Amino acid sequence: MVNLTINGQKVQAANGTTILKAAESIGIKIPTFCYDERLVAHGACRICVVEVAGARSLMASCTVPVTEGMIVQTHSPSVIETRKDILRLILANHPLDCLTCEKAGNCKLQDYCYEYDIKESGIVGTKKNYPIDDSNPFFSLDRNKCIMCGKCIRVDNELQCTGAINYNSRGFNTHVGIPYDRELEQSTCVSCGNCVSACPVGALSSKNHAKFRSWEVKTVRTTCSYCGVGCQMDLQVKDNKVVGVEPVNMAPNDGLLCVKGKYGYRFIDHPDRLKTPLIKKDGSFVAATWDEAYDLIADKMRNVKENYGSDAFGGFSSARCTNEENYLMQKLFRAVVGTNNIDHCARL
Amino acid sequence: MTNGINEILNTDVIFILGSNTTENHPVIGAKIRQARLNGAKIIVAEPRKIDLAKDAEVFLKIKPGTNTALLNALMNVVLEEGLQDKEFIAERTENFEELEAAVKKYTPEYAAGICEVSAEDIRKAARLYASAEKASIIYCMGITQHSTGVNNVMSISNLAMLCGNLGKESSGVNPLRGQNNVQGSCDMGALPNVFPGYQPVAKPEVIEKFEAAWNVKLSSKPGLTVPEMMKAAGEGSIKFMYIMGENPMVSDPDTNHVKHVLEHVDFLVVQDIFMTETAEYADVILPAAAFAEKDGTFSNTERRVQRVRKAVEPAGSAKADWVILMELMNKLGYDKSYNSPDEIMDEIASVTPSYGGISYDRLECVGIQWPCPNKEHAGTPYLHKGSFSRGKGLFKGIEHKDSAETTDKEYPFILTTGRVLYHYHTRTMTGRVDGLNAKVSENYAEINPAAAAKLGVGEGDVIKITSRRGTVDIKARLTEKVNENVVFIPFHFAEASANVLTNSELDPVSKTPELKVCAVAIQAK
C-alpha cells in the first residue's frame, strides 16, 4: 500500500493505482475523455491533468501511478486554467450545434464546458471540414465533432479486435478513418457499435429511429435475447418504447455488444407484432378474446386426451423464452397433460 | 461451457472447431481475439475459411463431416510424440487402453486423406494444443449437427482428457449455445427424458420426488424429441401440437416434411411474437410478450443465470409466455398460480439441485453460474475440478464414420449450413430490422469460383440446387471461403430455404439432425 495526499486528504492506495483511481476512491472526480478502464491508459487528451508537488509539469492522472508521500492537487488554479485551455482548444474546432446534436446531454465535452464555464473558444484558426460519413445503416461518423481522444480506435483494435478504423494522415489533419479514406461501409467494420458506445462526444452517434434526449429515458438492465453469450445491456426507454441500447461494463460482455445486441432491438415495437389471439375459421385467422382461445384449446386438449391418450400430445418449448417459462411449459405437459413429449430447439 | 467466458482471456491455446465464433457469438469472438493479442495461439478446424482463420496459427480446412477423423489423428500425434498428460490420465481417467488402440491407425497421413488437409498441419495443431499449459476447446453446431455428433463430442473430450486440459481454470471443453436460453431450456427440463436439473424421468425416485412436489401422477416413459415428434405427427400418432417460440418451417431439416406434418396434425397451437411461417398453419395463435416486455431469467452459455427485466408493456393484448402457460394450466384444472416469475424461480430452486441456491434477490447485480446448490454457494465458474460427474473421465475409442449422405455422381457437392452475423435463426426478429436487412437482404449460396466456372455460373447468377428432398433457386456468391466440392447456404431465410435441402437423418443418441452435411447437385439456371 502507498500513502499519499489528494486535495489535503490522506489516501491509501494499492501499488500501481493511478492518481485518477486513487482520487475516485475518495469521491474526487477528475474529468476524462480518452480514459476507458478496460484499456491501458494512454493519456492522450490531457484533460485529466493534476498538479503533483515537486513535478516539473502537470501530469496526466490516468497514467501516473501513486507513490509514497505524493501530494496531489486535482483542482488547483493552474490545473483548472489548463483544463480550460484544453477545452478552448477543442472547441476551436468543434461545431456548437448542441441544440440538435444527438449526443446532447450525454456528451463529456458539453458537461466539462459547463463545469469549467467555457462558452466559446476564442481561438481562431483553420477549421476542420469533413463530410459526414453516413454510409453505415446504424450510425454516422462526423469527424468535425471528433476530439481525437482515440477511444473508438482503441476499442475497435484492442477490445472488439476488428481493426476497421485507425488514424489517417498526420498533424492537424489526423482523423479517424479507414484505409484510403473510403466510406465506413467499404471497410471491414462489423457494425457492432462498440466505438459508438465509447465515443465521449457526438462524433460517432447512432441513427436513432425515435428522437430522445438522454434525460428523457429511463434505463432498464436486461440480458440480450439473441445468442447464448448473455450480454448485459441497458434498454433506453421513452414513452413505453425501447429507443436505444447501451452495453454494460460487466461480465460476461465487459461493455461490448454485437450489431444484433446494439441495433437489433427495433423489432420490439414493429407493427407486425401479434397483438391479439387468433383463431382459424374457414382457412383464415379471426381475432379472438383470450377466453375464447383458451376455451377452444382446453376443449380440444380434453378431447384428444380422452380419445387418444396423453402421448398423442407434442410440446415444443423455446430456447427464446425464459427459464421460468420453460419450466412451466414442461410442467404443463408433464403434470397437466401427462406426457414427456416435451422438447425444444436445442438441436437446431 | 466447462469454463467461464472470461477465462478465454487467460488461456494459452484456443482450439476452435465447428464454430464461426465472430459471426455467431460475436462478443466471444472478440474475446478470443483479445486473448490472441495477449499471446494466445489459435487453431481453427472448419470447412469454411471463416474470419477467425486469419487469426489462426494453424487453419485446418476440413471436409464437412470429418471431425472425428481429425481428432483421432491429433491424438495419434500426441501419443506418438509422447505429449499426453500421463499424470492426468492415471489419476482422473479410465479406459485409456481402448483410446490408444482406436487412434493407432489414424496417422496424420491417413486422416489427411479423409479430412482433405495436410498431414503436417495436423502435426502442428496437435503439438500446439498438447504443449499448452492451459488450452480451451471451443465448438458449436459444426460438431453436433451430424449423424455422428455424439462421437464428435466424445472425441473432443478424449483429446482434452488426453492432454489434461480439463477441470482447470481457462482449460476445458466449451460448447457455445446458439440461442439466448438454450442452456436454460435444457436446465429446466424442456427435454423429453429429464426433469429440471437433468433428473431422468426413467428413475422411480425422481418420479416420486416430482409427484410429491407437483401433487400429480407422472409418466415415467421418456418422451419424443422434436424430430421424433415431427415424425410421429406425420404418421398420425401425435394429434395435438403446441409450439411456443419456434419456427420449424424454417429451422428444421426437410421443410417439405415439416409442412406435411403441420398441415396434417389435428390441432396446432402456436405461441409467438410474430406471424411466422409456422404460425400460418396454426388453429390458434397466442400473442406473446417479447423479451423487453417481461421479467424472468436466461441462462447463458457459461451457465450464468441472469435477469431479464420488463422495460415496456406488451404489444396489444399480448401476454408473457409464463402468464399464458399458467392461465392455460388453470383452465385445465391445475390450480397453481404465481404472482410473478420470481415465485416460479423459487419453485425451480426447490426441485432443481443445481439451481438450489438461486433466487431473484441474489441475481439483482450480477448473475450466478450454476451449479449453485444452496443460498450460501457463490456459484461455479468452471466445472470438473478434481473429479468428473461420473468420477473418472471415461475414454472411448471412436471410429470415424462417413456422413449419412455422401457425394456421388448425381449429387456431387456437399451442402453445409450456418448463420451470418446480421441475422438470427429464422429472421422473425432480425428480418424486421431495416439496417440488418440492408446488410444481408436475401439468401445466397457460397460456391468456389473454380466450381462456378465449370458450371458456367457467375457472381449473382441464380443457380438451382437440388438434394434428394427438394430444390431451391438461389443466387450464387463466388468465394474461396469454401472448397470446390462444398457449398454453404445460411439457414435464416424462408425464401430459397437451406432446409428444403437438408437431411433429417439423426444422430442415434442425441437425435440431432445432420444439418451440416448433405449431398446436392448444382445447375446453372
Q: What is the CATH number of the domain that holds A43?
A: 3.10.20.740
Sign (positive/negative) of CA torsion B413, B418, B423, B428? Answer: positive
A132 and A262 assigned to the same domain: yes
On whether any CB of chain A is under 8 Å from the CB of B359, the answer is no
At A67, the amino acid letter reads: T
Which residue out of B32, B242, B504, B505 would a mutagenesis test of the A interface target, given it has the greatest number of A Cβ atoms within 10 Å? B242
Beta pairing partners, A133: A141
Beta pairing partners, B477: B446
On whether any CB of chain B is under 8 Å from the CB of A37, the answer is no
On whether any CB of chain B is under 8 Å from the CB of A81, the answer is no
A311 and A282 assigned to the same domain: yes
Asked if residue A119 is part of any domain, the answer here is: no
Query: For residue B406, what is its C-alpha cell?
Result: 455422401
Q: Do A252 and B233 touch (CB under 8 A)?
A: no
Q: Which of A267, A301, A334 is the last residue of a domain?
A: A267
Distance CA A115, CA A119 (A): 11
Q: How far is A39 from chain B (nearest CA, A)?
A: 11
Mean pLDDT, residues B107-127: 98
Give the DSSP H or E segment for A4.
strand A2-6
Interface of A with B in 43-62 (CB under 8 A): none
Q: How far is A84 from chain B (nearest CA, A)?
A: 37
Asked if residue A114 is part of any domain, the answer here is: no
Asked if residue A239 is part of any domain, the answer here is: yes
- B304-308/B296-299 β-pairing: antiparallel
A152 and A193 assigned to the same domain: yes
φ, ψ of residue B352 in degrees (nearest 5): -120, 100
The CA–CA distances, whole Å, from A323 to B8, B38, B92 equal 26, 36, 34
Contacts of B232 in chain A (CB under 8 A): 314
Query: Does residue A181 surpass a pLDDT of 90?
Result: yes
A241 and A340 assigned to the same domain: no
Is cis: bond before A65, omega within 30 of 0? no
Per-residue model confidence (pLDDT) at position A348: 86
pLDDT 10s digits, A82-128: 999 999 999 999 999 999 999 999 999 999 999 999 999 999 888 89
On whether any CB of chain B is under 8 Å from the CB of A221, the answer is yes
Distance CA B286, CA B274 (A): 10
Asked if residue A167 is part of any domain, the answer here is: yes
Residue A22: partners with Cβ closer than 8 Å, 6 or more residues away:
A4, A6, A11, A13, A66
Q: Nearest chain A Cα to B149, which residue?
A: A347
Query: For residue B186, what is its C-alpha cell?
Result: 435444457
The CA–CA distances, whole Å, from A262 to A243, A247, A249, A255, B490 equal 11, 8, 14, 11, 22
The CA–CA distances, whole Å, from B282 to A280, A290, B271 equal 7, 16, 9
On whether any CB of chain A is under 8 Å from the CB of B438, the answer is yes
Mean pLDDT, residues B40-54: 98
Query: Does residue A53 surpass a pLDDT of 90?
Result: yes
On whether any CB of chain B is under 8 Å from the CB of A170, the answer is no
Among the partner residues A223, A250, A338, nearest to B219 by beta-carbon distance: A338
pLDDT category at B448 given cuts 50, 70, 90 is very high
Query: Does residue A346 surpass a pLDDT of 90?
Result: no
Query: Does residue B212 surpass a pLDDT of 90?
Result: yes
pLDDT 10s digits, A7-46: 999 999 999 999 999 999 999 999 999 999 999 999 999 9
Query: Does residue A208 surpass a pLDDT of 90?
Result: no
On whether any CB of chain A is under 8 Å from the CB of B121, the answer is no
A156 and A37 assigned to the same domain: no
Per-residue model confidence (pLDDT) at position A125: 85
Pairs of residues, one from chain A and one from chain B, whose beta carbons lie less than 8 Å apart = 449
**Terminal CA-to-CA distance of chain A, rounded, Å?**
54
Per-residue model confidence (pLDDT) at position A107: 97
Contacts of A293 in chain B (CB under 8 A): 284, 286
**Which residue in A13, A34, A38, A40 sits closest to A24, CA to CA?**
A13
Residue with cell 413505453: A240
A206 and A289 assigned to the same domain: no
On whether any CB of chain A is under 8 Å from the CB of B322, the answer is yes
A262 and A184 assigned to the same domain: yes
Q: Which of A267, A297, A327 is the last residue of a domain?
A: A267
The CA–CA distances, whole Å, from B285 to A337, B211, B258, B306, B324 equal 19, 31, 18, 29, 12
Asked if residue A84 is part of any domain, the answer here is: no
A235 and A294 assigned to the same domain: no
Per-residue model confidence (pLDDT) at position A136: 98
pLDDT 10s digits, B254-288: 999 999 999 999 999 999 999 999 999 999 999 99
Check if the beta carbon of residue A325 is closer than 8 Å to that of residue B322.
yes
Per-residue model confidence (pLDDT) at position A209: 81
pLDDT category at B208 given cuts 50, 70, 90 is very high
Per-residue model confidence (pLDDT) at position B357: 98
Query: Does residue B101 surpass a pLDDT of 90?
Result: yes
Domain count, chain A: 3
DSSP B76-114: HHHHHTT-S-HHHHHHHEE-HHHHHHHHTT--HHHHHHH
**Which residue in A200, A204, A208 sits closest to A245, CA to CA?**
A208
Structural domains in chain B? 5-176 (3.40.228.10), 177-222+288-374 (3.40.50.740), 224-285 (no CATH), 413-524 (2.40.40.20)
Report the 10 Å Cβ neighbour count for A54.
Answer: 7
pLDDT category at B12 given cuts 50, 70, 90 is very high
Q: What is the CATH number of the domain that holds A146?
A: 3.30.70.20
Q: Do A340 and B5 touch (CB under 8 A)?
A: no
pLDDT category at A199 given cuts 50, 70, 90 is very high
Sign (positive/negative) of CA torsion B425, B427, B428, B433? Answer: positive
Asked if residue A198 is part of any domain, the answer here is: yes
Distance CA A164, CA B408 (A): 43
At B289, the amino acid letter reads: A
A165 and A43 assigned to the same domain: no
Interface of A with B in 125-154 (CB under 8 A): 137-138
pLDDT 10s digits, B352-396: 999 999 999 999 999 999 999 999 999 999 999 999 999 999 999
A211 and A307 assigned to the same domain: no
Per-residue model confidence (pLDDT) at position A271: 97
Query: Does residue A347 surpass a pLDDT of 90?
Result: no
Q: Do A317 and B316 touch (CB under 8 A)?
A: no
Per-residue model confidence (pLDDT) at position B521: 98
Asked if residue A284 is part of any domain, the answer here is: yes
A255 and A139 assigned to the same domain: yes
Q: Which of A52, A75, A98 is the last residue of a domain?
A: A75
The CA–CA distances, whole Å, from A315 to A31, A336, B27, B228 equal 56, 12, 32, 12
The DSSP code for B298 is: E
Give the DSSP H or E segment for B478.
strand B471-478
Q: The domain containing residue A44 runs over which residues?
A: 2-75
Asked if residue A148 is part of any domain, the answer here is: yes
**Which residue in B266, B232, B226 sits closest to B249, CA to CA?**
B226
Mean pLDDT, residues B400-419: 97
A262 and A150 assigned to the same domain: yes
On whether any CB of chain A is under 8 Å from the CB of B301, the answer is yes
On whether any CB of chain B is under 8 Å from the CB of A272, the answer is yes
